[in-house]
């Protein structure tokens, strides 16, 4: 079982729909990233959060530390939101300084 699980793996939506992507993790973390990756490579950090909720434009991220669960919501989705969304958590193993453990990503396609 992966330490970071995302669902769904693939998601197709119509423009304007409300979208939710879920992330569950099984390890202790210090913070969680939601990342966006467009075809051809680069990764952009959308949010880093360790508690509560953050909002940026049409994007909202929430985290429940007790339940080890986070969600990324996109309101009024648009075709330009089509990308892979990746959940990643900062973990510390023993004396480790910590590194990011990634989920496999959710491929979102928003149709006009």
The CB-of-80 to other proteins minimum distance in angstroms stands at 18
Closest to 78 measured CA to CA, from 3, 7, 16: 16
Binding range to other proteins, per CB under 8 A, among 13-21, 59-67, 69-77, 93-101: 93-101
88 makes contact with other proteins (CB under 8 A) = yes
Query: Would you state the structure tokens that stand for residue 75, as one six-digit string?
Result: 């309101």
Which is nearer to other proteins, 4 or 110 (by Cβ)? 4
CA pair distance 19, 59, nearest whole angstrom: 10
86 makes contact with other proteins (CB under 8 A) = yes
Q: Using CB under 8 A, which of 59, 61, 101, 110 touches other proteins? A: 101
60 makes contact with other proteins (CB under 8 A) = no
């Amino acid at each position: 079982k992966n330490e970071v699980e995302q669902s769904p793996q693939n998601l197709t939506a119509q423009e304007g729909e409300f979208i939710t992507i879920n992330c569950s993790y099984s390890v202790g973390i210090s913070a969680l990233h939601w990342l966006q990756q467009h075809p051809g490579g680069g990764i952009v950090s959308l949010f880093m959060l360790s508690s509560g909720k953050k909002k940026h434009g049409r994007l909202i991220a929430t985290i429940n530390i007790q339940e080890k669960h986070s969600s990324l919501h996109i309101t009024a989705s648009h075709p330009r939101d089509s990308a892979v969304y990746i959940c990643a958590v900062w973990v510390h193993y023993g004396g480790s300084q910590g590194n990011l453990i990634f989920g496999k990503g959710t491929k979102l396609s928003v149709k006009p």
